[in-house]
Structure 1
Amino acid sequence: MYLHLGFVLLLLISSNTYMTSNASSLSPITDENSHEFDVHFPPFILLGLIPNGNFEEPPQPPNLRKKVIIRGRYSLPKWEIHGLVEYISRGPQPGGFYFPVPRGDEASISQQLPLKPGSYYSLTFAATRTCAQDEVLGVKAGKGSADLTIKHCSVGVEGTFMDTSALVKVTFHNPGVQEDPACGPLLDAIAVKEILPLCHTKGNLVKNGDFEIGPYIFKNFSIGVLLPPHSLDAISPLPGWIVESLKPVKYIDSKHFFVPSGHAAIELVGGRESTTAQIIRTVPNKSYLLTFTIGDARNGCNGSMMVEAFAGKETIKVPLESQGKGDFKSASFKFEAISTRTRITFWSAFYHTKVHDYAYLCGPVLDDVKVVPI
């Protein structure tokens, strides 16, 4: 499956040496929710694609030799490159999904972003593997870094970082650990979004229980955004929630998936290895009512589903027979708080894949989580 944008960037094998790029070439993001501020440091990005974040601005023809970008580290507009990097247009390629690329040294691309010091930002990007093997994409933003394994044809990935200076360097690189060095991850559509503090919703002890506040979702396409586990991302890109499991959960939007209520929800795509939780304030020995909605994302994920929920010493198992048509149901149960902090936890009891794509993990949708005192 190819990404539905004009161009993608093929990263080969990345370099551990990073140089400083010229920040004067950056410009503020323009988006329907973005703003410009009169401040004494460079304009910072609140929401949207970073400069040339979808790679629609191609290298000049003299800087391309077929697909390979040549003639210096600044040949790709707004980006600094190291190693062997290819620029590939959308559409079918020779040999099907496999891109024949030459072997070479590690490759990376990086960009300096003018952001607001002391703020947290989420980084959303689309990545795709080029061969029938797991590929690794290294991501570094500010002081944070992670190596992400791309197991499926295409994924949207999310991460967070804190900006402690007016300029933050974002780098994507291929560490070159794949079996075939001629393969490498494809990268496209890179955006950032500031993570703002959350407030409680009146009548609900759960913050962001409807999942309406989350990472940036691209408007032209979406296959869902994978939210990494807490072990990889200490600050969650989904405010209020913790991804406690070994595997990510998926953030989905109502434009491209079925969502029980509102504009967004999460999909528990990894069985019991895909868990989300939140710690709420409670009064010991007081009773509370937890309600939530589960469903299917209308994305070809059929079969017998079950979501398990935990709060205090209580648990509930909620089954759902999915026909893949946007079915959903609500559930609730009472629990008694045993301390001033109570953890509410949700996971999928089973593992699921799409009916026509056994490599594509999917699962039940969770939405509208509420806790009220009784």
Structure 2
Amino acid sequence: MATSMRWIALFLLVAVSALAVSAIIEDGLLPNGDFRNGPDKSQMKGPVLTGKHAIPNWELSGFVEYIESGHTQADMMLPVPVGANAVRLGNDATIRQQLKVARHTYYSISFIAARSCAQEEKLNVSVDPEFGLLPIQTVYTNTGWDTYSWAFKPRHTTVWLSIHNTGIEENPACGPLIIAVAIKTLYPQLYNKGT
């Protein structure tokens, strides 16, 4: 009887471990990382998002706008590509998402961003307790978009990824545009002696 209970306990342990591993986020876009699943119109006031969970899979705080292709601001068209959607992080705005990851494994977060105002813009990317402050550059290309990456090594299996605009401007809407957020597992390079 004791032996069969041990086998059942071992089986349950293996089954639970397999479920935990399968829940780890996969490489590629984060869930709704391209913001295609937009907000319900009842959670918007113009382009400004009014609900904490207005964008599926994301938690919002501060002055966050949902920008669709063709959106204009004071006679200036924002550079959102046709068919894409973006979020604009205005004054003290944050988007964040909870992720299931493997402890002590390196990951890279990448996102595509563009400036929307002339002011200096910076984004604080963090997975507690680690963070990185990334300046958003003016890119002189035909699109104005650039890709930014930041690596981290989580201490827990469940973490919050946050992207925060630290700026406070006279125009609260001034802030970076983001159109895609992705994750990649970084595997250590193995050194083969003699090669």
TM-score clears 0.5: yes
Aligned-residue offset at 1:134: 2.2
Aligned-residue offset at 1:91: 3.1
The structure whose Rg is larger is: 1
Percent of paired sites with the same residue: 35
Residues 179 and 134 of structure 1, relative CA distance in 2, 3 Å threshold: farther
Aligned-residue offset at 1:42: 6.3
Whether 1:141 and 2:120 are equivalent positions in the alignment is no
CA–CA separation in structure 1 for the residues paired with 2:55 and 2:69 = 17
Whether 1:128 and 2:108 are equivalent positions in the alignment is no
Segments of 5+ residues of structure 2 without an aligned counterpart are: 1-16, 80-89, 139-143
What is aligned with 1:64?
Answer: 44
Aligned-residue offset at 1:45: 2.0
Aligned-residue offset at 1:160: 0.5
Structure with the bigger percentage of helix? 2
Segments of 5+ residues of structure 1 without an aligned counterpart are: 1-36, 205-374
CA–CA separation in structure 1 for the residues paired with 2:46 and 2:171 = 22
The number of residues matched between the two structures is: 163
What is aligned with 2:102?
Answer: 116
SS of 2:18 mapped into structure 1: coil
What is aligned with 2:72?
Answer: 93
Amino acid in structure 2 at the alignment position of 1:195: L
Work out whether residues 137 and 172 of structure 1, in 8 Å CA contact, stay in contact via their aligned partners in 2.
Answer: yes
Whether 1:173 and 2:153 are equivalent positions in the alignment is no
Amino acid in structure 2 at the alignment position of 1:90: S
Correspondence list, 1:229-240, <5 A? none
Larger relative contact order (Cα-Cα within 8 Å, sequence gap ≥ 6)? 2
SS of 2:153 mapped into structure 1: strand
Correspondence list, 1:188-337, <5 A? 188-200=179-191, 204=195
Aligned-residue offset at 1:38: 2.3
Work out whether residues 121 and 135 of structure 2, in 8 Å CA contact, stay in contact via their aligned partners in 1.
Answer: yes
Work out whether residues 136 and 178 of structure 1, in 8 Å CA contact, stay in contact via their aligned partners in 2.
Answer: no
RMSD: 2.5
Amino acid in structure 1 at the alignment position of 2:121: E
What is aligned with 1:338?
Answer: none
CA–CA separation in structure 2 for the residues paired with 1:62 and 1:175 = 27
Work out whether residues 113 and 148 of structure 2, in 8 Å CA contact, stay in contact via their aligned partners in 1.
Answer: yes
Work out whether residues 44 and 114 of structure 1, in 8 Å CA contact, stay in contact via their aligned partners in 2.
Answer: yes
Work out whether residues 42 and 114 of structure 1, in 8 Å CA contact, stay in contact via their aligned partners in 2.
Answer: no
Q: Report the TM-score when normalising by structure 1.
A: 0.40
Residues 80 and 93 of structure 1, relative CA distance in 2, 3 Å threshold: same
Q: Report the TM-score when normalising by structure 2.
A: 0.74
CA–CA separation in structure 2 for the residues paired with 1:191 and 1:107 = 19
Aligned-residue offset at 1:55: 0.3
Work out whether residues 135 and 178 of structure 1, in 8 Å CA contact, stay in contact via their aligned partners in 2.
Answer: no
